[in-house]
């Protein structure tokens, strides 16, 4: 029997929680940025919500580096910073929604569950359309449950009245606001618990096995099987090169750091020659033009802009394509100042901007033995190579 979809309303907002570090997974980067089927885990949920006709926008709750790494947000989406605990992250998202009316619907979802699809969303919206204040997806417990003390199995627990709770969870915005206001810091593992504390009836709808949660590294293989993500990838390599003139009276920015020197680099932005070369290398591997195409020097908004914004933008373009940056290699050509004392800090700064491990970033420095414009200390040059893994299209 075909399930009928509820009437869609444009007044539905998603809150996507992606603020955790996911240390139990053991990945080098936050688990929401782990690659699944050619794109970050976080992007699966973001794309599912953005593609649903009832959802007009959302709030992505994540650190700035995660937002940059996942790529451009869909229309109608904003971001908010996470808190130390899940409840604080949801509260931050509610604050970001401002004075939106209490009767709109909010879907709260954990980005670690990438298998969300339209059918589950429709069931949740249908429950609220029928008058529920809140609704959650659940699955039955198929396994025998026992009490356990240490390594010894004890009495069997009746599983007939138990269910596994998933996300997204749906609420009227006013209900969710009241639930969080009444919590006053008392802990809860999900928002439905807070709703029940204020007396809200929480309706259970059928969940989906594909909403499996990424907690441990092995879960990534389980999700790959559930979601059918056998995606072939290809290696793409790009090269970037940039030069800027040294002038007196300006700060010197190289590799995202301000370095004390008598001269700085002249340019429309902060003229960070190293980050410009890296940005062009990444864009080159994507076949996506160059830094001037995306940030033209004729545009006044980029006057004096910090170049880490350009590099983060390029990284976001990789993530949006479902790819990942494997390695970047940067060579800075300068007679002065000496780059060696700053090399480790530059590597760490670039790794932070690109959400990479430091081992994936190489920074070298050389001179031209006093030959040419760099040897005469008239300017600084940089060249870079970026290696990406991109899905085959």
Q: How confident is the model at residue 304 (pLDDT cuts 50, 70, 90)?
A: confident
Judge residue 370's burial from the number of C-beta atoms within 10 Å of its C-beta, 0-12 exposed, 13-18 middle, 19 or more buried. Answer: exposed
What CATH number did the domain enclosing 245 receive? 3.30.1330.50
Confidence at residue 225, expressed as pLDDT on a 0 to 100 scale: 81
Is 4 among the domain residues? no
Q: Are residues 50 and 189 in the same domain?
A: yes
Is 7 among the domain residues? no
Average pLDDT over residues 167-194: 92
Judge residue 51's burial from the number of C-beta atoms within 10 Å of its C-beta, 0-12 exposed, 13-18 middle, 19 or more buried. Answer: exposed
Helices 273-286 and 343-354 cross at an angle (nearest 10°) of 40
Total domain count, the chain: 2
Nearest C-alpha neighbor of 238 from the set 299, 317, 348, 346:
317
Q: Are residues 199 and 260 in the same domain?
A: no
Cβ neighbours of residue 2 under 8 Å, at least 6 residues apart? none
Is 5 among the domain residues? no
- Name beta bridge partners: 298: none
3-state helix, strand, coil in the chain (%, to 5): 35, 30, 40
Q: Are residues 68 and 108 in the same domain?
A: yes
Span 369-388, pLDDT tens digits: 899 998 888 899 999 999 99
Would you give the DSSP letter of residue 187?
Answer: -
Pure H helices in 287-386: 291-294, 308-320, 343-354, 372-375
Handedness of CA 308, 313, 318, 319 (dihedral sign): positive
- Inter-residue contact 374 to 245 (CB < 8 Å): no
Residue with tokens 């949660």: 213
Q: Are residues 151 and 298 in the same domain?
A: no
Span 42-97, pLDDT tens digits: 999 999 998 898 999 999 999 999 998 887 888 899 999 999 899 999 999 999 99
Instruction: Please say which residue of 227, 250, 284 terminates a domain.
Output: 227
Is 278 among the domain residues? yes
Cα 197 to Cα 292: distance, rounded to the nearest angstrom: 55
Is 1 among the domain residues? no
Cα 356 to Cα 6: distance, rounded to the nearest angstrom: 43
Span 306-359, pLDDT tens digits: 999 999 888 888 876 767 899 999 999 998 899 999 999 999 999 988 888 899
SS3 call for 76 = coil
What CATH number did the domain enclosing 123 receive? 3.90.550.10
- Inter-residue contact 268 to 296 (CB < 8 Å): no
Q: Are residues 178 and 254 in the same domain?
A: no
Lowest mean pLDDT among 4-8, 126-130, 141-145, 181-185: 4-8
Domain limits at 342?
233-391
Span 193-242, pLDDT tens digits: 999 999 999 999 999 999 999 888 778 778 888 887 655 678 999 999 99
Confidence at residue 14, expressed as pLDDT on a 0 to 100 scale: 97
Q: Are residues 175 and 254 in the same domain?
A: no
Is 370 among the domain residues? yes
Cα 163 to Cα 138: distance, rounded to the nearest angstrom: 6
Decide if pLDDT at 102 tops 60: yes
Decide if pLDDT at 277 tops 80: yes
Instruction: Please say which residue of 227, 257, 274 terminates a domain.
Output: 227
């Amino acid at each position: 029997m075909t399930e009928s979809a509820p009437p869609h309303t444009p007044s539905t907002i998603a809150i996507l929680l992606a603020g955790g570090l996911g240390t139990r997974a053991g990945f080098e980067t936050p688990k929401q940025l782990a690659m699944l089927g050619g794109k970050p885990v976080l992007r699966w949920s973001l794309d599912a919500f953005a593609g649903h006709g009832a959802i007009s926008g959302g709030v992505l709750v994540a650190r700035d580096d995660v937002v940059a790494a996942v790529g451009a947000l869909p229309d109608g989406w904003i971001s908010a910073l996470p808190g130390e605990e899940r409840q604080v992250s949801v509260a931050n998202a509610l604050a970001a929604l401002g004075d939106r009316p209490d009767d709109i619907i909010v879907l709260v979802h954990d980005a670690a569950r990438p298998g969300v699809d339209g059918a589950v969303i429709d069931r949740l919206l249908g429950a609220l359309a029928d008058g529920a204040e809140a609704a959650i997806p659940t699955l039955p417990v198929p396994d025998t449950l026992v009490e356990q003390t240490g390594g010894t199995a004890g009495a069997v627990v009746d599983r007939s009245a138990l269910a596994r709770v998933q996300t997204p969870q749906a609420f009227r915005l006013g209900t969710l606001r009241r639930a969080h206001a009444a919590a006053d810091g008392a802990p809860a593992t999900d928002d439905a618990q807070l709703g029940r504390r204020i007396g809200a009836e929480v309706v259970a709808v059928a969940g989906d096995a594909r909403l499996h949660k990424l907690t441990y590294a092995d879960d990534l293989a389980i999700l790959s099987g559930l979601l059918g993500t056998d995606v072939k990838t290809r290696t793409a390599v790009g090269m970037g090169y940039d030069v800027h003139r040294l002038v007196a009276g300006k700060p010197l920015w190289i590799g995202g750091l301000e370095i004390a020197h008598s001269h700085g680099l002249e340019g429309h932005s902060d003229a960070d020659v190293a980050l410009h070369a890296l940005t062009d290398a990444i864009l080159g591997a994507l076949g996506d033009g160059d830094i001037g195409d995306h940030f033209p020097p004729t545009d006044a908004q980029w006057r004096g802009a910090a170049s880490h914004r350009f590099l983060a933008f390029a990284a976001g373009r990789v993530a949006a394509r479902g790819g990942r940056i494997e390695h970047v290699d940067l060579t800075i050509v300068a007679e002065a100042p000496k780059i060696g004392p700053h090399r480790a800090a530059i590597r760490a700064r670039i790794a932070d901007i690109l959400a990479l491990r430091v081992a994936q970033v190489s920074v070298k420095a050389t001179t031209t033995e006093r030959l040419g414009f760099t040897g005469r200390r008239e300017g600084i040059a940089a060249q870079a190579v970026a290696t990406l893994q991109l899905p085959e299209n």
